[in-house]
Structures are given as C-alpha cells and as structure tokens.
Amino acid sequence: MSDLPKPKITLDCFGLYCPEPLFQTREQMDSLKIGEILEVLSDDPAAEEDIKRFAKRTGNEIILFENNKGQLRFLIKKGEEK
C-alpha cells in the first residue's frame, strides 16, 4: 500500500498536447490551497519537462513522477507562491 497523499484533484490530460497540459495544470494549481495535491495524467512527451519546470519556477513540489510506457503521472504539492 502506498503512503502517498491522496490528490485533491485529478487532471486527465490524455490526448492533449503542448501547451494544453501545462495550461490546465497551472489553472488547477491556482485553485488549490497550500499543501493540497494535484494529480496530472498525460501522454504528451513534452509534459514531463514543461510541468517539472513549471513546478520549480512556481514553488510547487513534485512529490511523485512516473512514466509508464509513455503514460505520465505527476503528484504536485501546492507550495507558497514565489
């Protein structure tokens, strides 16, 4: 059993391509309170770099990243705005 926190919101971006997964991730992160978790699912190869860069730049924390045969899963914890 996983000890990972349960996401507040799951964002399904399968079938969407750059820049849409990043735009939707940003929008959903804005709706969360500090400490809440967003789960993002995507099959866009560009999403890995885009979302990792976005999280670092905005003070959010990626607490999990998985790539299962091109199916990407992120758990992003809302941090304090930079």
Q: What is the pLDDT of residues 20-54, one digit of tens each?
A: 999 999 999 999 999 999 999 999 999 999 999 99
Q: Are strands 61-68 and 37-42 parallel, antiparallel or unpaired?
A: unpaired
Q: 9-77 in CATH: which number?
A: 3.30.110.40
Quote the CA–CA distance of 43 and 77 in Å, as a whole number: 21
**What percent of the chain stands above pLDDT 90?**
90
Which one of 5, 8, 18, 62 is the catalytic residue?
A: 18
Q: Is the pLDDT of residue 16 over 90?
A: yes
Residue with tokens 């992120």: 74
Contact 63, 35 (CB under 8 A): no
Kindly list the domain boundaries of the chain, sorted by start residue. Answer: 9-77
pLDDT of residue 1: 47
Contact 82, 57 (CB under 8 A): yes
Q: Is 18 a catalytic residue?
A: yes
pLDDT of residue 49: 97
> What value does the mean pLDDT of the chain take?
95
**Neighbouring-strand partners of residue 77:** 37, 61
Tell me the mean pLDDT in the region 10-24.
Answer: 97
CA dihedral 54, 59, 61, 67 (to 10 degrees): 10
Q: Is the pLDDT of residue 63 over 70?
A: yes
